[in-house]
Amino acid sequence: MAQADVSIKPTEVQGGHGHPDKWKWYDYFTFNVDHKVIGIQYLVTSFLFYLAGGFMAVLMRTELATPDSDFLSPDLYNAFLTNHGTIMIFLWIVPAAIGGFGNFLIPLMIGARDMAFPKLNAIAFWLNPPAGAVLAASFFLGGGAQSGWTSYPPLSEITANLPQTLWCVALVMVGTSSILGSVNFLVTIWKMRIPSMKWDQMPLFCWAMVATSILALFATPVLAAALILLTFDINFGTSFFKPDAGGNVVVYQHLFWFYSHPAVYLMILPIFGIMSEVIPVHARKPIFGYKAIAYSSLTICLVGLFVWVHHMFTSGTAPWMRIFFTISTLIVAVPTGVKIFSWVATLWGGKIRYTTAMLFAVGLLSMFVFGGLSGVTLGAAPFDIHVHDTYYVVGHFHYVLFGGSVFGIYSGIYHWFPKITGRMLNEPLGKVHFVLTFIGTLLTFTPMHQLGMQGMPRRVAMYDPQFADLNQLVTVGAYILAVSVIPFYFNVIWSWRSGKEAGPNPWNALTLEWTTDSPPIIENWEVLPVLTHGPYEYGMDKANQVGPAGEPTEATQV
């Protein structure tokens, strides 16, 4: 154990040049320690889980097209409900946004050859596919967990014991993966920047990942504690959450939300980072308020640890706690608003290029403002008590998670696909994808707010006929969303093989990942780049991108 082993064995080394060749396709199916391979592994697996979770959503919406329970059995509906949420959060958004973009981009953005702990990184990824397999197995060993992604006791302790236990095991696995990944991100960003890059010269995505990693480190172990206690209650006869034996179900809710509210920020902070990269590049303007955006990420991280009880306003929470947590929740809107205004100010007067990446970024802006505002309404205890456990809540968090996180992941894919694969995605097809997604999102998630205000409860397979019209509209929207992924997946598969060659820097961007080949060589650069300008100095004379070979690149003419 003399030194951390960071050297990477390439599949093949070109004779003479002394620099390694690219990875072969089968390297992507192995325990590979290259951060770019791991990033792609995260992205591809999470996009597969996205299809699985989306498939469940389509089946649920088909059930909900009519008021009666006539398509899925109620148990199957509950299992889909539980696993749709679990998969979309823990196996799609978190691994795609944090594991995928984080691993691929961070060493490239800070001028490092790899993450600080490459083997640990690979271990963290390889915890994910087995977790998905365990969830899949839970369907065949007792019909899947039934109690929703929150798995509140007593329901989670009296239904489907084996699947519920498997669910806990799967979550502890992805949680461990998340903790190991966060250790890696923090140490890498802290210690492995090229010497010429100071903290305030880092791309904002790195700042976002610092905040994300701190949150994951502090919140995830508490979820693990909750799940361990739940597992003991279910299988080993303890009574932590059994009121008849002196236990307390609200204790579970506290532990669960101490993680799961910060988990919301885990899913959006990296997306904020993606926004801060995509918008300046495609608006050809320096980012507005670099420090404000960087520090607002840390503020969200800090305040986000003290808001969790707003999920529990109806759990017999004491009035003083309601007041405290209403106030702390509303405070989160301030740093979030700082970001929104900074992005709008960045767009203002820019030479905006309406690429698909930019369309998704701007789409996210509008969607997220809507979802953020409905979040503020839910943060206020008096209103929340009225709409708690209704479709208003479902509408709100889908606006934030789909209109926010998923739009951001799409935007990031259109932006960095050329870097990841060396080929451009097809732009017209991308625009079809965007239009379908945008319309589908509006149609699916907007009527849910009205349904909730009218009193339709969430997590039901059967509902009062008075809600039928709006529910049919929602189902049509869901079908449009289902169709919207077809041009996207087709585009990705087709372009990966035969898209237009991208070259090192197709967007004339200034951050360091664009100074190397597309896709980057193993170990990223033959000679590490030297920072000669900030990450966002578009339209300024100083912007003089110097590539590793010593030739000013096209970015000189920004």
Find the binding residues for other proteins in span 166-205 (CB under 8 A): 179-180, 182-184, 186-187, 190-192, 194-196, 198, 200-201
Quick note: the x/- pattern for other proteins over 1-30, rule CB under 8 A, is xxxx-xx-----------------------
Backbone angles phi, psi at 248, to 5 degrees: -145, 115
| Site for other proteins contains 47 (CB under 8 A) | no
R_g of the chain computed on alpha carbons = 23
Q: What is the 3-state secondary structure (H, E, C) of 470-492?
A: HHHHHHHHHHHHHHHHHHHHHHH
Among 255, 347, 485, 555, contact with other proteins (rule: CB under 8 A) = 255
Please give the residues from 230 up to 249 whose contact with other proteins meets the rule CB under 8 A. Answer: 232, 236-240, 245-248
Strand-pairing partners, residue 552, are 546
Backbone angles phi, psi at 552, to 5 degrees: -60, 130
Which residue matches tokens 């902070």?
269
| Site for other proteins contains 34 (CB under 8 A) | no
Please give the residues from 281 up to 310 whose contact with other proteins meets the rule CB under 8 A. Answer: 286, 290
Give the separation between CA 126 and CA 107, rounded to whole angstroms. 20
Give the separation between CA 522 and CA 402, rounded to whole angstroms. 34
Among 221, 337, 455, 503, contact with other proteins (rule: CB under 8 A) = 221
Backbone angles phi, psi at 52, to 5 degrees: -60, -50
> Which CB atom, from 306 or from 494, has the smaller least distance to other proteins?
306
- Nearest distance, CB of residue 263 and other proteins, angstroms: 14
Quick note: the x/- pattern for other proteins over 119-138, rule CB under 8 A, is -x------------------
Quick note: the x/- pattern for other proteins over 78-117, rule CB under 8 A, is ----------------------------------xx--xx
- Nearest distance, CB of residue 246 and other proteins, angstroms: 4
Reading phi first (left if > 0) and then psi (alpha if -120 to 50, else beta), residue 204 is in: alpha
- Nearest distance, CB of residue 255 and other proteins, angstroms: 6
Among 71, 152, 218, 479, contact with other proteins (rule: CB under 8 A) = 218
3-state SS class at 521: strand
Q: How many CB atoms lie within 10 A of CB 161?
A: 14
| Site for other proteins contains 382 (CB under 8 A) | no
Q: The tokens of 358 are what? A: 């930019």
| Site for other proteins contains 523 (CB under 8 A) | yes
Please give the residues from 401 up to 440 whose contact with other proteins meets the rule CB under 8 A. Answer: none
- Nearest distance, CB of residue 442 and other proteins, angstroms: 36
| Site for other proteins contains 62 (CB under 8 A) | no
> Which CB atom, from 143 or from 221, has the smaller least distance to other proteins?
221
Give the separation between CA 368 and CA 374, rounded to whole angstroms. 10
Contact indicator for 440, 481 with CB cutoff of 8 Å? yes
Please give the residues from 462 up to 491 whose contact with other proteins meets the rule CB under 8 A. Answer: none
177, amino acid identity: S
- Nearest distance, CB of residue 126 and other proteins, angstroms: 18
- Nearest distance, CB of residue 148 and other proteins, angstroms: 21
Binding region for other proteins (CB under 8 A) out of 49-57, 362-370, 409-417, 519-527: 519-527
Contact indicator for 270, 300 with CB cutoff of 8 Å? no
| Site for other proteins contains 533 (CB under 8 A) | yes
Q: The tokens of 213 are what? A: 């990693």
Please give the residues from 534 up to 553 whose contact with other proteins meets the rule CB under 8 A. Answer: 534-537, 540, 542, 544, 546-552
